[in-house]
Amino acid sequence: MRTKRVERYETIADLRASLAPARRAEHSIGVVPTMGYLHAGHLELVRRARAETDVVVVTIFVNPTQFGENDDFANYPRNMERDLALLRQAGVDAVFTPSVAEMYPAPLQTAIALKPLGDMLIGTVRPGHFTGVATVVAKLFNITQPTRAYFGEKDFQQLAVIRRMVADLDIPVEIVGVPTVREADGLAMSSRNVRLSPQDRVAARVLSAALREGAAMIAAGERDPQRVLAVLEEMIAAEPGVLLRSLDIGDAADLAAIATIDRPVVLLVTAMVGPVLLIDQQEAWPKAGREESR
Ligand code: AMP
């Protein structure tokens, strides 16, 4: 286990000043944006960044602009001391923990809205969410000017939004997607899982189980997305603790709707489990498409 000093920066000016020597020396900089309350999924992103870049910066910022009015900003779990201890063990170089006032000294007049990518799928369940995400990530990119930035595939649409923003705006950063880290029973790790009651925690298993079932149907030759979705809806509806909010199959490349499963796809689910909004994803390959597409 590595233990080294990890510097915490709370202002944009201090973080920029600390990264200036590394930039002058042409060291690569890896950034891992998070909202904190770290778990093994976040630490996998950090591990990748540590392995692939010279200087690793983790940002911890619960971004109010990506939460809706009835959303869970106030209840979002936070534990800065624990997070800093985990990042010290993981051997990161700098942690950026700005206040809301530091990031938004005045309400922004500028927003990055992806149309239609940010409005579709989970964007219909969480209006404005991806505009908040894209805008804050663009700010974090401008603050850290990273060589590479690491994002989880768990938030598949978010990853697609960031990739598209970077391409559209010519932001000079390489986006790295990292596979979803799961609990032993399949539940995708999430900071929000801590808010599940023991009963809800058991019920939540149905989401990853349904996604696996969908991927298995597709791998076995099912080509009709509606038939896959119908089976999954039934599975999830049979779990009384889970309220399905969205369930979709899209083209894995751009999330576009598809009429026939003839290429790599992604299954995306959002559901309320007790008071908690959970999301999960699973990629799937049609029977004959897998070899040539990977
Ligand atoms: P969050 O703190 O939830 O905003 O997540 C910060 C980053 O960690 C995002 O890029 C997420 O996609 C990623 N992440 C969250 N949970 C997981 C997980 N279970 N496996 C892999 N990456 C994750």
Give 90-100 pLDDT, tens digit per residue.
999 999 999 99
Q: Closest by alpha carbon to 162, among 145, 180, 137, 181?
A: 137
Q: Respond yes or no: is residue 129 known to be catalytic.
A: no
Q: What is the domain partition of the chain in residue ranges?
A: 7-178, 191-284
Note the CATH architecture for domain 191-284.
2-Layer Sandwich (3.30)
State pLDDT tens for residues 20-53: 999 999 999 999 999 999 999 999 999 999 999 9
The arithmetic mean of pLDDT across residues 196-216, rounded, is 98
Report the distance separating Cα 191 and Cα 69, nearest Å: 20
Assign domain 7-178 to its CATH superfamily. HUPs (3.40.50.620)
In single-letter form, the type of residue at position 85 comes to A
Atom of ligand 1 nearest to the CA of 180: 20
Residue 3: pLDDT band (50, 70, 90) is low
- pLDDT > 70? residue 251: yes
- CA dihedral 283→288→292→294, nearest 10 degrees, is 20
Ligand 1 atom closest to the Cα of residue 181 is: 20
Report CA(178)–ligand 1 centroid distance (Å). 9
The answer for residues whose C-beta is within 8 angstroms of residue 200's C-beta and 6 or more apart is: 241, 273, 274, 276
288 alpha carbon – ligand 1 mean position (Å):
31
* Element containing residue 31 per DSSP (H, E): strand 29-34
85 closest CA partner among 1, 207, 179, 187: 1
Q: Which of 15, 19, 34, 42 is catalytic?
A: 42
Q: Judge whether 137 and 114 are in contact, CB under 8 Å.
A: no
What burial class does residue 79 get, using C-beta atoms within 10 Å of its C-beta: 0-12 exposed, 13-18 middle, 19+ buried? Answer: middle
> What mean pLDDT value characterizes the chain?
95
Q: Is 33 helix (H, G, I), strand (E, B) or coil?
A: strand
Give the tens place of pLDDT for each residue, 86-132.
999 999 999 999 999 999 999 999 999 999 999 999 999 899 999 99
Atom 22 of ligand 1, nearest CA residue: 152
| Interval between CA 223 and ligand 1 midpoint (Å) | 30
The atom of ligand 1 lying closest to the CA of 191 is 3
Where do the H-state alpha helices sit in the chain? 12-24, 40-52, 80-90, 100-103, 122-125, 129-144, 156-168, 198-203, 205-219, 225-237, 290-293
Mean pLDDT of 136-161: 98
Residue ID of nearest Cα to ligand 1 atom 18: 41
pTM for the whole thing?
0.94
| Mean pLDDT for the stretch of residues 69-80 | 85
The predicted pLDDT at position 5 comes to: 72
Q: What is the DSSP string of 215-227?
A: HHHHHTT---HHH
Pocket of ligand 1 (CB under 6 A): 34-35, 41-42, 44-45, 151-152, 154-155, 178, 180-181, 188-191
